[in-house]
Amino acid sequence: MFRIMNVRSVPFEDATASARIRDAAIARFGAQGYDRTSVREIAADAGVSPALVIHHFGSKEALRHACDDWLATQLIGEKTRVAAPEVAATIREWLDDPERFRPYIDYFATMLADGTEGGNRLFDRLVHDTAAMLDAGVADGSMRESSDPGMRALIITVHGLAPLLLRDQLARAMGTPFASSATIRRMTRPMLELYTHGLYADSRMLDAADEALRGVAPTGSEPRSDKGPGNPNQDPDPPTHGRPDTW
Amino acid sequence: MFRIMNVRSVPFEDATASARIRDAAIARFGAQGYDRTSVREIAADAGVSPALVIHHFGSKEALRHACDDWLATQLIGEKTRVAAPEVAATIREWLDDPERFRPYIDYFATMLADGTEGGNRLFDRLVHDTAAMLDAGVADGSMRESSDPGMRALIITVHGLAPLLLRDQLARAMGTPFASSATIRRMTRPMLELYTHGLYADSRMLDAADEALRGVAPTGSEPRSDKGPGNPNQDPDPPTHGRPDTW
DNA sequence: CATGATCCTAAACACGTGTTCAATCCTTCG
DNA sequence: CGAAGGATTGAACACGTGTTTAGGATCATG
């Protein structure tokens, strides 16, 4: 009724066929992925013939594009709204009512993972909004300054998106459904601890990285610096911490 | 002639056909995804007939399973090695030589995203290894304690995996190829700053969350607490920060 | 040489896919 | 009413898919 009114989770009888098709497509694409979804499935869900799907949207790929656009509009708003961080706000709103908005959450995740054009646009928008929010936080003194605000905004955005993309793994590991109250409650404090105090007890890692980054040639294969179990962040990716030299 | 050259950690010509098929499959699955890859493509890459692919592996799905197992073995080691955090170490090794190991990096990312059985196993393993590393860090005083070590390990693992899953978006946003020296160097300091000092300048968010989590009923729809631009982490997912109450 | 056994392939099969097309139904309006 | 025009469909088409089948090379061994 309020903001995203047209966004009823389940298509209604009275909804136009084209809208029912779009809703069914979003649900299927989000739940099983674009490739694993057939036009016939979508048509059946919408109570319609496969031919009508093509008639209305032109092709399966065009249908996906229409879904992307529609969801982006839901997220960003018809005409770019006044305040910047609208996308994040809307997504938070979605996560408030997971049962109702799950299809959109899922579809949004697949957009990002598939590297769709619409997904790229939304990602860039998120980074932009995040940067704005961080700037505001720094301005009012609630957040720390960064040596590279743009990069920090990118990193925080990526970290924020991560649980969305790994929601299945998260739910499995935690034993509670994703976006449930229990999951959120359990994640809140550790997450805030991380964002408030950090992980490291002192700045040794940071200092070591500074030194390593200062005078090292971009190329080259110097020997690894540290290796003990006390080393950095550890996993695949930003494991930068432990061995920031060789990268 | 030799198509996927970078994939072969083993010389190609003398490699057995079965190995060539497996390598080609890993490269294709990683680059374009399982569904978008046909058995015929893999066969062509391996210089072999489609029938042989099935003959050796039984089915396309079984081939994927074989790829999963093979890559898991590469990551974890034949017989579980002595030290625990082997997986993370191997992945870091891969990221050291992106050109050579890109296929494995890509395939690993799709395993996680697709929720493959092998992907799940690797994810659990990563969480376990991360937890062990964090425990060691806490023990030797280099890392802070956590109110929920298990959850922290999960979160840090997810955050660490994030850039891997969003590598395309990352590369696009940064303008440098993923896992390149330039990308790593630019990410290092902001990442370490985040992990060393955190994001928030004080513990107001944390305190607010504590208070909210203490006496609030798991269900309920109280009014939002804050809303200003100074609010938390902002985006989709662990945006917990801003409004830890309603979750 | 003959005998298997192993590796491998060409050809075909059965099927699911996205899409097209001619023909309906249904509403609207002159 | 009757014509027009959009919405809708059943049936088919062309094609790509994973897989099967029947057999051909190749080669070590009796």
Note the pLDDT tens digit of each residue in B155-204: 999 999 999 999 999 999 999 998 788 898 899 999 999 999 999 999 99
In the predicted model, is pLDDT for residue A12 greater than 70?
no
Model confidence over B96-124: pLDDT tens digits? 777 888 999 999 999 999 999 999 999 99
Q: How many Å apart are CA B57 and CA B66, to the nearest integer? A: 8
Length of chain A: 247
Q: In what helix (H) or strand (E) does residue B85 lie, and over which residues does it extend?
A: none
Structure tokens at A9: 């989770």
Split at pLDDT 50, 70, 90, the class of B212 is: confident
Distance CA B20 to C1' C6 in A: 18
Q: Which of residues 58-117 of A touch B (CB under 8 A)?
A: 85, 87-88, 91-92, 95-96, 108, 112-113, 115
Q: How far is B59 from chain A (nearest CA, A)?
A: 18
In the predicted model, is pLDDT for residue A225 greater than 70?
no
In the predicted model, is pLDDT for residue B239 greater than 80?
no
In the predicted model, is pLDDT for residue A58 greater than 60?
yes
pLDDT of residue A66: 97
Three-state DSSP class for residue B241: helix
* Closest residue on chain A to B92 (Cα): A236
Q: Which of A132-141, A152-161, B11-20 has the lowest mean pLDDT?
A: B11-20
In the predicted model, is pLDDT for residue A57 greater than 60?
yes
Length of chain B: 247
pLDDT of residue B13: 52
The fraction of chain B above a pLDDT of 90, given in percent, is 61
* Closest residue on chain B to A168 (Cα): B115
* Residue nearest the C1' of D9 (CA based): A49
Q: How many Å apart are CA B183 and CA A236, to the nearest integer? A: 15
Q: Which of residues 17-36 of A touch B (CB under 8 A)?
A: 33, 35-36
Which ranges constitute the DSSP H helices of A46-83? 50-57, 60-76
The fraction of chain A above a pLDDT of 70, given in percent, is 77
Nucleotides of chain D within 7 Å of a protein C-beta? 7-12, 16-22
Mean pLDDT of chain A: 81
Report the residue of B105, B214, B240 to disrupt the A interface, i.e. the one with the largest count of A CBs within 10 Å. Answer: B240
Q: What are residue B82's phi and psi, to 5 degrees?
A: -60, -65
Residue with tokens 């917990």: B240
For chain A, counts of helices (H) and of strands (E): 11, 0
pLDDT of residue B136: 95
Q: How many Å apart are CA B178 and CA B160, to the nearest integer? A: 14
The structure's pTM equals 0.83
CA angle, B29 then B175 then A107, to 5°: 50
Residue A164: C-alpha distances to residues A76, A105, B88, B162, B247 (Å): 18, 8, 22, 10, 16
pLDDT of residue B227: 37
* Beta-bridge partners for B200: A143
pLDDT of residue B142: 96
pLDDT of residue A27: 97
The fraction of chain A above a pLDDT of 90, given in percent, is 62
B-chain CB neighbours of A157 within 8 Å are 235
Q: Which of A76-85, A192-201, A223-232 has the lowest mean pLDDT?
A: A223-232
Split at pLDDT 50, 70, 90, the class of B93 is: confident
Q: Count Cβ atoms within 10 A of the Cβ of residue A178 and give its class: 0-12 exposed, 13-18 middle, 19 or more buried.
A: buried
Model confidence over A137-152: pLDDT tens digits? 999 999 999 999 999 9
Three-state DSSP class for residue B15: coil
Q: Which of A96-105, A164-173, B75-84, B217-226 has the lowest mean pLDDT?
A: B217-226
